[in-house]
Amino acid sequence: MTDDLGLNVSRETSERLATYAELLVKWNPAINLVSKSSLADLQTRHFADSAQLLALCPPDARRWADLGSGGGFPGLVIAILAAESMPDLAVTLVESDGRKAAFLSAVVRETGLRTSVVADRIESLPPLAADVLSARALAPLSQLLAFAEQHLAPNGRALFPKGATHRSEVAESLADWRFDLREHPSKTDPQAVILEIEGVSRV
């Protein structure tokens, strides 16, 4: 799974990912964490797709916040990988759905991660001052930029995976926002990209 992304993981990290996968399969029928059809391709569709974001994390980053974490993608995968490769990186998972937050907390507990789970609405939180902010399949880019303005540290970086509609989302966002943008092709989906965004401000 991670070899394709150029990541070497220890046995401990592999075991944590396996524990995560087992809990996801167990909890999914009750709270619909991911689509049933994607469970068969869990490693690539969700784990590898999330893992590729870690390569875009600045080496001096200390705080990563994942918004609308849901089933834990990408935030929980990042937390598991960073526990070994970037032990000083503190990961916070924000999820307003209490049942999904309970799932995230269960995985954190079972894998022994030092990861915070915040069961609250993103808009209600005080600024998180995150060095890195991520969100996957959460909202249109214009809304994500509003979250970034609120929760990114001054020199922080937002990483937003987006699908085939990303160009129209970027164009629409330019009406209200200024930002520096780099597009990185997804390693798991030829139609998808990761939007790397810095310098967010309102027009």
Rounded-to-integer distance, Cα 88 and Cα 110, Å: 20
Model confidence at 43: pLDDT above 90: no
Model confidence at 1: pLDDT above 50: no
The mean predicted confidence, pLDDT, of the chain is 93
Element housing 116 (H / E): strand 116-118
Annotated binding site: 68, 73, 122-123, 136
Give the predicted TM-score (pTM) of the model: 0.93
State mean pLDDT over 148-158.
98
Model confidence at 60: pLDDT above 90: yes
Rounded-to-integer distance, Cα 52 and Cα 90, Å: 18
Per-residue confidence (pLDDT) for residue 101, from 0 to 100: 98
Model confidence at 148: pLDDT above 80: yes
Annotated binding site for S-adenosyl-L-methionine: 68, 73, 122-123, 136
Spell out the residues 6+ positions from residue 131 whose beta carbon is closer than 8 angstroms to its own. Answer: 58, 60, 61, 62, 63, 64, 153, 155, 156, 157
pLDDT tens digits, residue range 91-110? 999 999 999 999 999 999 99
How buried is 164 (Cβ within 10 angstroms: 0-12 exposed, 13-18 middle, 19+ buried)?
Answer: exposed
Apex CA 195: angle with CA 169 and CA 124, to 5°?
75
Apex CA 167: angle with CA 176 and CA 149, to 5°?
35
Q: Among 37-41, 88-92, 135-139, 190-194, name the one with the lowest average pLDDT.
A: 37-41
Per-residue confidence (pLDDT) for residue 7, from 0 to 100: 54
Model confidence at 23: pLDDT above 60: yes
Domains and CATH numbers, the chain: 3-202 (3.40.50.150)
Spell out the residues 6+ positions from residue 62 whose beta carbon is closer than 8 angstroms to its own. Answer: 88, 89, 90, 131
Model confidence at 158: pLDDT above 90: yes
State the alpha helices, DSSP H only, in the chain.
11-31, 42, 49-51, 75-85, 98-111, 141-151, 166-173
Rounded-to-integer distance, Cα 202 and Cα 10, Å: 43
Model confidence at 4: pLDDT above 50: no
DSSP letter, residue 196: E
State mean pLDDT over 58-87.
97
Model confidence at 39: pLDDT above 90: no
Phi, psi torsion values for 75, nearest 5 degrees: -55, -45
